[in-house]
Amino acid sequence: MIIKGRDSPISLIGYEVLLKRLSKSHEKYYMIQDRFLSAKAGRGGEEEFDRIIEKQHLGVPHLFLHDLSLNKDFQVDSLLITQNYLFVFEIKNLGGKINFLSNPLRVEQEYEDGKERAYDLSQMDKSTYYLSRWLEMRGIKLPVYRAFVLPYPKKFENHTNMTVLFPNAVPPYIRSIRQGKTRISESQMKEIGEQLKLEHRGFKPFPMCKRWGIDPKDLLTGVECEKCGRLGMEKVIRGWFCRKCGFFNVNAHEKTMKEYFMLVGDTITNRECRWFLGIGDRHVATRILIGMKLAAIGEKRHTKYVFDYQNMVK
């Protein structure tokens, strides 16, 4: 039973927006692009894991929580809770030649073109330790196991004591764990799951410029035409007009405004609004800001409008 599904992929949305608003000549463009492609592949791997697990029988009463984050020491891709143990799964969609190594715990990738990449897996140790302490503080005695999951079959070398599985191997591996006497009731199992779900604090990647150390002045500005993708639609009476393809849209600015908040911050002034949308009339900017129903703080020229990130993916 899944009591917490995967969070909305807002990081992927943030990467897409940042790449769109950066020139390819920017010093960090290809670094960010590489991170975006890696995150996108990772999301696909998690979805493949979910697809396989959901259609198989684990053989024990259980709960799943996906994308669970309590703090910097506890961030897991998937957590399995049973009446006898908890299981932390780290899921990564990796390419190239794969080696799992110790001291420090890590996985290294080596590609045919000589490119190399390494992932620090010490977070898995932090998560299992934190979860063990979390249980102990509540008087619950359950072991916490861990496993690394490669979502698609491929060759790898494992020089660690860590379990590495493919999704199809997870159910039989779970069934192979000796159960013994049941340690907690199903109701206690559900209480643990609901409390962890309650304590979940979703990862907040915004603003992307601050996260990546990018000066907002480096961003490409202007309202995007949803038909041809050009940045720089012209503000006309009752809407926006694209000089390139002739497309007209009444509310084209709304998507661009959301992109500003993803990239720059959760507050915006009239001047910043004019800069990012590419308009010159401050009265037009005021009407746009008021029309988006943003909370206002301050007065007159010092007014700032505040965006609620809860509305980010709506």
Together in a domain, 44 and 172: yes
Together in a domain, 20 and 113: yes
> How many structural domains compose the chain?
2
Domain-located, residue 44: yes
| pLDDT tens digits, one per residue of 287-307 | 999 999 999 999 888 899 999
| pLDDT tens digits, one per residue of 127-166 | 999 999 999 999 999 999 999 999 999 999 999 999 999 9
Q: Domain containing 268 — which CATH number?
A: 1.10.10
Together in a domain, 77 and 132: yes
Together in a domain, 104 and 169: yes
Measured in residues, the chain has a length of: 314
The two three-digit tokens of residue 147, written as one number: 């496993």
Together in a domain, 177 and 278: no
Together in a domain, 247 and 184: no
> Rounded CA gap, 37 and 21, in Å?
17
Residue where one domain finishes, among candidates 134, 168, 199? 199
Domain-located, residue 170: yes
Domain-located, residue 207: no
Other beta carbons less than 10 A from residue 22's beta carbon: 22
pTM of the model: 0.87
Domain extent, residue 298, equals 221-311
Together in a domain, 226 and 194: no
Contact 26, 216 (CB under 8 A): no
Q: Check residue 197 and give its pLDDT.
A: 97
